[in-house]
Chain A
Amino acid sequence: MGAKAGSSPPVVPPPASSATSFFPSINGLKLKTKQQELLIRVSILALVYVLAFAIRLFSVLRYESMIHEFDPYFNYRTTLFLTEKGFYEFWNWFDFESWYPLGRIIGGTLYPGLMVTAALIYWTLRFLRFAVHIREVCVLTAPFFASNTTIVAYFFGKEIWDSGAGLVAAALIAICPGYISRSVAGSYDNEGVAIFALLLTFYLFVKAVNTGSLAWALASAFGYFYMVSAWGGYVFIINLVPLYVLVLLVTGRYSMRLYIAYNCMYVLGMLLAMQIRFVGFQHVQSGEHMAAMGVFFLLQVFYFLDWVKFTLNDPKLFYSFLRIALTCAISVGSLALGVGMATGYISPWTGRFYSLLDPTYAKDHIPIIASVSEHQPTAWSSFMFDFHILLFLFPAGLYFCFKRLSDATIFIVMYGLTSMYFAGVMVRLILVAAPAVCLISSIAVSATLKNLTMLIRAKNNATPMGSSKGTASLKASAKASSFDQPLPYQRNVAIALLLGAFYLLSRYAIHCTWVTSEAYSSPSIVLAARGAHGGRVIFDDYREAYFWLRKNTPADAKIMSWWDYGYQITAMGNRTVIVDNNTWNNTHIATVGRAMSSYEDEAYDIMKSLDVDYVLVVFGGVTGYSSDDINKFLWMVRIGGGVFSVIKEPEYLVNGEYRVDKGAAPKMLNCLMYKLCYYRFGEVTTEYGKPPGYDRARGVEIGNKDVKLEYLEEAFTTSNWIIRIYKVKPPKNRW
């Protein structure tokens, strides 16, 4: 329109004039720019929402709609119980099927958020007359919440930067592998909903700080409540938020908004969190929660001083008051803390907390934490694997944040930096860092793209139309078209950079899809491998064994296995286990570890004292499945030895080396675990051209081929030998 009017009137060809006469009618149909933008934004968000859900369905397509891994099986079992028996039964549930003979108070030792969420979704769908199975609900809970997380990420991005950054953040987090790893369909774990709750709480809190509105602060308190109900990672919130408040105080950004937001969120959030039985009074009693309380009191002091300063209206008097007040406050605070610690009212930090702050702590003091692979320090490669380009965009985003510091950007910077540190300490905490990394990277992407497009657009219509640079180009255009030419090829470079950015982002998308489909969609209950002819071979041994237990053992049989398989045995095999993945009793686990690493006759006494009927071991020697019990065995020795000094780790090693072949330590060759894994394995030829008894997982010929069992007998071995179950024989009559 502008261009046509600008040209000189006498030489315009006639068709153009007819076009202008049409214009009003088309104009009437066209949406306003604002509406257009809204439409585009909403449709992008909707697409991202669907994408986040769809990419997580790889596991369902590749395998089936099933629950994955270990912990999700417990969650599934409890959800099933909740939907069948109702909430009060669930709350009062004492589980006889695990930790035999101790049992476990389920209601008081779990975070019920996930189960209640799934049950609510289930009941809602049932109410709406959708006859879904609870398993489907459980399988799809994590993707559903991942989709919701993208929406929260959008609003969060909008809050800290602008809606463009919000959109990018939503898109990035939708496919970020670091997040997908814990939220694929079937990964029915606390983290699935907890990341949503975490981000929601943070968003609402930042919103509350930005607006100073009680309503938002209240909402964030409820977000916090949901987070507490869902995952133990809430400790991160209750420490990060006070830290953030402290930083704001130190940098002189204290405001009434902050005061309102934090006080409301902390007080209400704490009271609400106390309603969760597993958390109870920890908010006032545990050392991990004391920072929040300290900052709460500090804020009151700040407010009080502000008021005194206002009423005194005399700087000199105020400073003397300040000195007295501060001394008093600090001494009272430290005294209270000291007394609390000394009397044991305030519990000290737990081992898990220590191991977070100090990566080497767990290795030396708590082998049971260190034995879990997801608690290992993160390797660079897994950072690259899980974040890809976000790893490089993250510092860039930090730069942009520092360039435009506000209360909100300070928050995201702190969230990003702390969570990155924790992600470095433990592999599984990459998950917590993922939203922060996505948000900060989205700022980098959005700001860069915006700058580049501005350059291109400004160049494009420098003459006819004002660019979005507004007043700057207004003045420039007054001087006709001969305005700024600051850099040669500026536009070309901008276009090249833009293309580069799109290339990187598309690589990111490709990488995420690949990672999701290849690495994170395996249920790890069902193993898949490529056959000799390129076909897919399924190893369904776990379920084979669990189903055998379920159908062909007495209903009250007690199964002894390493704790990794406890949840699966109770959920799928429906049998009582001695230990399971809820590692609350280290001694009990150590007893099992001791039994596994003792000679058969000693182990038999232990097993008799625990009423064990069956022993289950996981063995990968035939298939080459490497995460089996022989490879985990040193941890059993370590954990067993940590409690029972009769078990000594060096006895199982030869010159500090762990081996199972002829050169292995004699104790190793005759311990229960070795015998159970390799019973009659010496007669099997696993690989062509190798001697019988060749262990494919470790690539050696085993050292003790003539394993004789005296107190146990083979009860079942799965088709690929991955799981072997032995029956403990009854005592001989002579006793």
Chain B
Amino acid sequence: MRKVFACALFLLLATWMTTARSDLVISKVDRRIDLTSHIVRVLSTLKVENAGRVVVSEILLAIPNMQAKNLANLKAFYNEGKGKGSAINLPVAEVHPEGMPRELSFYSISLHEGLEKGKSLTVNVLSIFTHSLQPFPEEISQSDVQLVVYQDSAYYVSPYEVKSQSLNVLLPGGRVESYTKHPSGKLVDSEIKYGPYEKLPPFSYSPIVLHFENNNPFVVAQELVREIEVSHWGSIQITEHYNLAHKGATNKGGFSRLDYQSRSYMGGRSSLRQLIARLPPRAHSIYYRDDIGNISTSHLWGDSRKTQLEIEPRFPIFGGWRTSFTIGYSLPLQDFLFVSEGNRFLNITFGCPMDEVVIDDLIVKVVLPEGSKEVSVSVPFHTKQWHETKYSHLDIIGRPVVALEKNNVVPEHNTYFQVHYKFNNLSLLWEPLMLISGFLLLFVACIAYMHADLSISKSSASYIAKLQWDEVQATVQQVQNVIRRCLSAHEKLETSLQDLSRTGDVHSCKATRKIADGLLKELSKELKPLMGFLQSSPQAAQIWPKVEELVAKEKEMQEKLMQKHVAVVDCFEKKYSGREIENRVAPYQQKLSALKQEVDDLLDYIDEI
């Protein structure tokens, strides 16, 4: 193994390299390597002592390059006071000090207050590595267990002298194929202990190789695009596009559904059957789909503190298999959007809501409402940033988008970040107004079209005929109106007769008759030019006889009504009895109702034309 050889080289290097940084001495190191999932978490508790004369303000950490390239997160913190005080984070930065071995990467922890001579400090360093467990064998069949290899050093690699140290490696349980027993490794339950070792010079290195069973699915999102769209109408829509792969031992020899279903312990223990996304409380409108449609295998639970979405991929994911899907959900706006000093800021989590998923390439896009200005982002770690524009429903200038990209993301990165921006509430009305005006324009266009004369030739026969027909129709309408007014005058006369029978007021009745008479005369005068026009117009030829008949009947009706009116009034003046009056009026009455019927029919008929 080349790696081991290289490590041995370190040891040699270390022996003659007793370099300057010996001011600090690490009096005690406890390392705990957690290998229970596919993410390697190393927690080192360092007790650092200043043995030199000057105040030291930084501590160097050394990580072999082989591991450093998989380093996802490096966090240093110390506990305030004794016991369970609150943890205080220390800034960590990558440095390239002179005269150090090139096979190591160095990180420096800056202390808030310098470490004075003779003082000591306990610092916890949590380093998280991804892709550090190598499946071995690389190909397994469906029923095999997944074995992985982990390599590290039994000694804590440090540029400082380490007085006392120990190492605990936590394994997920199950079979341990082999582990390096030298120096002094022993397996207790599912934990391997190394050490304690005393007094080791700087850069001491002793390679260890662990080969053990780890049936966790190595879920790696090769790409995850999270789109967070803020709508000031009251919700935040989050869409997450996953591109997942199982990076464990590759499946060989096909997949047997029979084994998978009936012998669940045998068939595919390392396969990914389901994922659980822990969404914020009050998440709603949740969906789970992929390129070809909805995926129906998901379950949702929710209470006031969280919403839990359990999703199953379309098929179980074995080693080397891939899948992709999209989940989306909406969140209430007031939980995540706040206002401070006229600025708005969105406070939302960065990473993916699922457990134990390593994301190779995470892109978070925050889509702000159209018209947002002065956008700035504050993220607790380094990301690549750029701006985009997105066009969604009814967008004219597009929505400003802030995109953040980060590689090698682990669940520890799932912290809050903030996007600050300015937004005028009036801009909200822009889109509804646009819709309203759009419809308004449509209707106006319709009205304009209905009233516009779009015929090409203004002199063609059919066009002229159409114009004439319109005119005829208008005239007929007028005639009808006049007739209707006549009829209402008749009505008035009838009413006056009824009044007469009640009150016996002959004079008022006569007066009514006079008025009605005058009105009817006027109307018939009005009718004359209209009739003249209709008679002369060729277009009215087929309608003319009906109109003529109508007018004639109406005239007859007028006459009869007048006669009836005169007769009734006469009778009243002569004080005839009711019966007598009825007898006298009866012939007129019959005639009138017949005429009335005919006039109505004619009106209907003309209406239908």
Contact with A along B582-609 (1 / 0, CB 8 A): 1001000100011011101100110100
Most A Cβ at <10 Å: residue of B262, B314, B494, B499 = B314
Residue contact A9 to B256, C-beta cutoff 8 Å = no
Which residues of B, 50-94, contact A by the 8 Å Cβ criterion?
A: none
Among candidates A12, A477, A543, residue contacting B293 with C-beta atoms closer than 8 Å: A543
Residue contact B601 to A10, C-beta cutoff 8 Å = no
A248 located at the interface, meaning its Cβ lies under 8 Å from any Cβ of chain B in the complex: no
Which residues of A, 367-390, contact B by the 8 Å Cβ criterion?
A: none
15 further A-B contacts with Cβ under 8 Å, apart from A683-B258, A717-B255, are: A2-B597, A5-B596, A9-B568, A10-B581, A12-B498, A66-B294, A465-B597, A474-B597, A540-B295, A540-B296, A543-B293, A552-B321, A714-B255, A717-B256, A727-B254
Tell me, rounded to whole Å, the shortest Cβ–Cβ distance linking A718 to chain B: 7
A130 to B294 alpha-carbon distance, docked (Å): 22
Kindly list chain A residues whose C-beta atoms are within 8 Å of the C-beta of B585.
9
Closest residue of chain B to A135 (Cβ to Cβ) is B293
Residue contact B594 to A478, C-beta cutoff 8 Å = yes
Kindly list chain A residues whose C-beta atoms are within 8 Å of the C-beta of B396.
129
Residue contact A718 to B604, C-beta cutoff 8 Å = no
A64 to B294 alpha-carbon distance, docked (Å): 7
Residue contact B292 to A130, C-beta cutoff 8 Å = no
A716 located at the interface, meaning its Cβ lies under 8 Å from any Cβ of chain B in the complex: yes
Among candidates A20, A471, A552, residue contacting B322 with C-beta atoms closer than 8 Å: A552
Which residues of B, 484-504, contact A by the 8 Å Cβ criterion?
A: 488, 490-491, 494-495, 497-499, 501-502
Closest residue of chain B to A471 (Cβ to Cβ) is B601
A-B contact pairs, 17 of them (CB 8 A): A5-B596, A8-B589, A9-B497, A10-B578, A21-B495, A24-B488, A34-B607, A466-B597, A477-B597, A538-B296, A548-B315, A551-B323, A683-B258, A714-B254, A714-B256, A719-B315, A721-B257
Kindly list chain A residues whose C-beta atoms are within 8 Å of the C-beta of B498.
9-10, 12, 17
Tell me, rounded to whole Å, the shortest Cβ–Cβ distance linking A551 to chain B: 5
Tell me, rounded to whole Å, the shortest Cβ–Cβ distance linking B593 to chain A: 5
Closest residue of chain A to B598 (Cβ to Cβ) is A474
Residue contact A544 to B607, C-beta cutoff 8 Å = no
A33 located at the interface, meaning its Cβ lies under 8 Å from any Cβ of chain B in the complex: yes
Residue contact B394 to A129, C-beta cutoff 8 Å = yes
A336 located at the interface, meaning its Cβ lies under 8 Å from any Cβ of chain B in the complex: no
B3 located at the interface, meaning its Cβ lies under 8 Å from any Cβ of chain A in the complex: no
Which residues of A, 1-30, contact B by the 8 Å Cβ criterion?
A: 2, 5-6, 8-10, 12, 14, 17, 20-21, 24
Which residues of B, 378-393, contact A by the 8 Å Cβ criterion?
A: 391-393
Contact with B along A471-499 (1 / 0, CB 8 A): 10110011000000000000000000000
Asked, given contacts A477-B594, A477-B597, A680-B256, whether A544 binds B315 with beta carbons under 8 Å apart, the answer is yes
A252 located at the interface, meaning its Cβ lies under 8 Å from any Cβ of chain B in the complex: no
Tell me, rounded to whole Å, the shortest Cβ–Cβ distance linking B145 to chain A: 21
Kindly list chain A residues whose C-beta atoms are within 8 Å of the C-beta of B596.
2, 5-6
Residue contact A64 to B293, C-beta cutoff 8 Å = yes
Contact with A along B312-340 (1 / 0, CB 8 A): 00110000011110000000000000000
B526 located at the interface, meaning its Cβ lies under 8 Å from any Cβ of chain A in the complex: no
Tell me, rounded to whole Å, the shortest Cβ–Cβ distance linking A432 to chain B: 31
Residue contact B598 to A715, C-beta cutoff 8 Å = no
A241 located at the interface, meaning its Cβ lies under 8 Å from any Cβ of chain B in the complex: no
Residue contact A130 to B607, C-beta cutoff 8 Å = no
> What secondary structure prevails in chain B residues at the interface with A?
helix
Asked, given contacts A477-B597, A547-B315, whether A130 binds B589 with beta carbons under 8 Å apart, the answer is no
Contact with A along B394-427 (1 / 0, CB 8 A): 1110000000000000000000000000000000
A628 located at the interface, meaning its Cβ lies under 8 Å from any Cβ of chain B in the complex: no
Residue contact B323 to A470, C-beta cutoff 8 Å = no
Kindly list chain B residues whose C-beta atoms are within 8 Å of the C-beta of A9.
494, 497-498, 501, 568, 585
A701 located at the interface, meaning its Cβ lies under 8 Å from any Cβ of chain B in the complex: no
Kindly list chain A residues whose C-beta atoms are within 8 Å of the C-beta of B601.
466, 470-471, 473-474
Tell me, rounded to whole Å, the shortest Cβ–Cβ distance linking A237 to chain B: 29
Closest residue of chain A to B564 (Cβ to Cβ) is A9
B518 located at the interface, meaning its Cβ lies under 8 Å from any Cβ of chain A in the complex: no
B532 located at the interface, meaning its Cβ lies under 8 Å from any Cβ of chain A in the complex: no
Contact with B along A694-719 (1 / 0, CB 8 A): 00000000000000000001111111
Residue contact B495 to A718, C-beta cutoff 8 Å = no
Kindly list chain A residues whose C-beta atoms are within 8 Å of the C-beta of B262.
683-684
Among candidates A130, A468, A684, residue contacting B394 with C-beta atoms closer than 8 Å: A130
A546 located at the interface, meaning its Cβ lies under 8 Å from any Cβ of chain B in the complex: yes
Closest residue of chain A to B599 (Cβ to Cβ) is A2
A317 located at the interface, meaning its Cβ lies under 8 Å from any Cβ of chain B in the complex: no
Kindly list chain B residues whose C-beta atoms are within 8 Å of the C-beta of A130.
393-394
Residue contact A713 to B254, C-beta cutoff 8 Å = yes
Tell me, rounded to whole Å, the shortest Cβ–Cβ distance linking A219 to chain B: 16
Residue contact B314 to A543, C-beta cutoff 8 Å = yes
Closest residue of chain A to B589 (Cβ to Cβ) is A8
Which residues of A, 118-172, contact B by the 8 Å Cβ criterion?
A: 128-131
Residue contact A547 to B323, C-beta cutoff 8 Å = yes
Residue contact B495 to A5, C-beta cutoff 8 Å = no
Closest residue of chain B to A16 (Cβ to Cβ) is B498
Residue contact B394 to A551, C-beta cutoff 8 Å = no
Kindly list chain B residues whose C-beta atoms are within 8 Å of the C-beta of A544.
314-315
A572 located at the interface, meaning its Cβ lies under 8 Å from any Cβ of chain B in the complex: yes
B290 located at the interface, meaning its Cβ lies under 8 Å from any Cβ of chain A in the complex: yes
A727 to B585 alpha-carbon distance, docked (Å): 106
Most B Cβ at <10 Å: residue of A9, A477, A552, A683 = A9
Among candidates A5, A716, A721, residue contacting B490 with C-beta atoms closer than 8 Å: A5
Asked, given contacts A9-B501, A540-B295, A715-B254, whether A466 binds B494 with beta carbons under 8 Å apart, the answer is no
A323 located at the interface, meaning its Cβ lies under 8 Å from any Cβ of chain B in the complex: no
Closest residue of chain B to A552 (Cβ to Cβ) is B321
Tell me, rounded to whole Å, the shortest Cβ–Cβ distance linking A624 to chain B: 17
B253 located at the interface, meaning its Cβ lies under 8 Å from any Cβ of chain A in the complex: yes
Residue contact A466 to B600, C-beta cutoff 8 Å = yes
A732 to B530 alpha-carbon distance, docked (Å): 104
A465 to B605 alpha-carbon distance, docked (Å): 13
Residue contact A548 to B501, C-beta cutoff 8 Å = no
A32 located at the interface, meaning its Cβ lies under 8 Å from any Cβ of chain B in the complex: yes
Residue contact B605 to A470, C-beta cutoff 8 Å = yes
Kindly list chain B residues whose C-beta atoms are within 8 Å of the C-beta of A548.
314-315
Contact with A along B283-302 (1 / 0, CB 8 A): 00000001111111100000
Asked, given contacts A470-B605, A474-B598, A572-B292, whether A129 binds B393 with beta carbons under 8 Å apart, the answer is yes
Kindly list chain B residues whose C-beta atoms are within 8 Å of the C-beta of A713.
253-254
Residue contact A540 to B594, C-beta cutoff 8 Å = no
Among candidates A8, A20, A551, residue contacting B324 with C-beta atoms closer than 8 Å: A551
A620 to B510 alpha-carbon distance, docked (Å): 97
Kindly list chain B residues whose C-beta atoms are within 8 Å of the C-beta of A684.
258, 262
Residue contact A718 to B292, C-beta cutoff 8 Å = no
A12 to B261 alpha-carbon distance, docked (Å): 91
Kindly list chain B residues whose C-beta atoms are within 8 Å of the C-beta of A64.
293-294
8 shortest interchain CB distances as A-B pairs = A717-B257, A466-B601, A10-B501, A64-B294, A544-B314, A572-B292, A551-B322, A714-B254
Kindly list chain B residues whose C-beta atoms are within 8 Å of the C-beta of A683.
258, 262
Residue contact B488 to A10, C-beta cutoff 8 Å = no
A226 to B256 alpha-carbon distance, docked (Å): 50
Closest residue of chain A to B321 (Cβ to Cβ) is A552
Kindly list chain A residues whose C-beta atoms are within 8 Å of the C-beta of B581.
10
Kindly list chain B residues whose C-beta atoms are within 8 Å of the C-beta of A20.
491, 495
Which residues of A, 38-74, contact B by the 8 Å Cβ criterion?
A: 64, 66
Tell me, rounded to whole Å, the shortest Cβ–Cβ distance linking A63 to chain B: 8
Residue contact A131 to B594, C-beta cutoff 8 Å = no
Residue contact B314 to A715, C-beta cutoff 8 Å = no
Kindly list chain B residues whose C-beta atoms are within 8 Å of the C-beta of A10.
497-498, 501, 578, 581-582
Closest residue of chain A to B434 (Cβ to Cβ) is A129
A17 to B494 alpha-carbon distance, docked (Å): 10
Closest residue of chain A to B495 (Cβ to Cβ) is A17
Residue contact B604 to A129, C-beta cutoff 8 Å = no
Contact with B along A552-584 (1 / 0, CB 8 A): 100000000000000000001000000000000
Residue contact B315 to A718, C-beta cutoff 8 Å = yes
A654 to B254 alpha-carbon distance, docked (Å): 35
